[in-house]
Amino acid sequence: MSAQPPATEARLARKQQQRSLVTQQKLLAAAIEAFSANGFKGTSTRDIAERAGVHHPLITYHFKNKDRLWRAAADGIFREFNVSLAKAMAEVPEVDPKARAEAFIRTYVRYAHSQPALHKFILQESSRPSQRLDWLIESHLKPVYDLVVEPLSRLQELGVAPAGKTALLYNMIRVSAGGLLALSLEIRGTTNIDLQGEEELNELADMIVRVFLPGEMPQHD
């Protein structure tokens, strides 16, 4: 029996690779959904496989184990956020700390809206010390803080942002954006405010800017 022609073998290999990538994406999407809802310990790999609609052994094939799948899911969430933040920061001058702080706020609000798992993923891991939390901080959370803390500190010096610990101010801003969006269902039921709407989303970002960056940048002659 003759072997497959090279062109046919190449097409089959590409199809197999495409199927493999589709399976990985399904598993990652299901993992993000499950881990953000139930945490690492409250999520089983069988639950993830069922959510993804794939056979359970494929998790081991693609990600080796549950911990690696969790890290891959976290990487996916924060890599997309970091790309969005880097793009927003690149569009404002480094010499304008208020514009950079506003860019952070608006990017955070927009991304937390499009990817609710951003805040929920953090919240699930923050309830107790763990190696996963340490990894999440060092790999993703601390780099974002380091990017934003200097402009915020400068704004405090200029009287644009409220005085106090810069780290506390940073976290108040972050939780005001991500936390409110993570609670959007409860907020809608309690107050009839729909944070999924475009108008309300813009108002939320505007209000966070007004509350935490109330001052104006000094004018130079």
Q: Are residues 182 and 207 in the same domain?
A: yes
Q: Are residues 84 and 178 in the same domain?
A: yes
Last residue of a domain, one of 19, 37, 64: 64
Q: Are residues 187 and 84 in the same domain?
A: yes
Residue 50 DSSP class = H
Domain tally for the chain? 2
What is the pLDDT at residue 18?
A: 84
Those residues with Cβ within 8 angstroms of residue 169's Cβ, 6 or more apart along the chain or in another chain:
152, 156, 161, 162, 212
pLDDT in tens, the chain (221 residues): 456 677 666 666 677 778 889 999 999 999 999 999 999 999 999 999 999 999 999 999 999 999 999 999 999 999 999 899 989 988 998 889 999 999 999 999 999 999 989 988 999 999 889 999 999 999 999 999 998 999 999 999 999 999 999 999 999 999 998 889 988 999 999 999 999 889 999 999 999 999 999 999 998 65
Q: Are residues 84 and 37 in the same domain?
A: no
Q: Are residues 39 and 8 in the same domain?
A: yes
Q: Are residues 166 and 102 in the same domain?
A: yes
pTM for the whole structure: 0.86
Q: Are residues 214 and 157 in the same domain?
A: yes
Cα 123 to Cα 153: distance, rounded to the nearest angstrom: 26
Structure tokens at 158: 């200029």
What is the pLDDT at residue 220?
A: 65
Last residue of a domain, one of 11, 42, 64: 64
Amino acid letter for position 204? L
What is the pLDDT at residue 7?
A: 65
Those residues with Cβ within 8 angstroms of residue 89's Cβ, 6 or more apart along the chain or in another chain:
100, 103, 104, 147
164, part of any domain: yes
Residue 197, Cβ neighbours under 10 Å: how many?
11
Q: Are residues 16 and 94 in the same domain?
A: no
What is the pLDDT at residue 17?
A: 77
Q: Are residues 203 and 155 in the same domain?
A: yes
158, part of any domain: yes
Cα 95 to Cα 93: distance, rounded to the nearest angstrom: 5
What is the pLDDT at residue 49?
A: 96
Write phi, then psi, for 218 (nearest 5 degrees).
-65, 145
105, part of any domain: yes
Last residue of a domain, one of 17, 36, 64: 64
Domain range for 136 is 74-221
Q: What is the CATH number of the domain that holds 24?
A: 1.10.10.60
Q: Are residues 211 and 175 in the same domain?
A: yes
Contacts 24+ apart (CB under 8 A), 155-162: 155/97, 155/98, 155/101, 155/213, 155/215, 158/97, 158/215, 158/217, 158/218, 159/215, 160/97, 160/98, 160/213, 160/214, 160/215, 160/216, 160/217, 161/101, 161/212, 161/213, 161/214, 161/215, 162/212, 162/214
20, part of any domain: yes
Q: Are residues 109 and 217 in the same domain?
A: yes
69, part of any domain: no
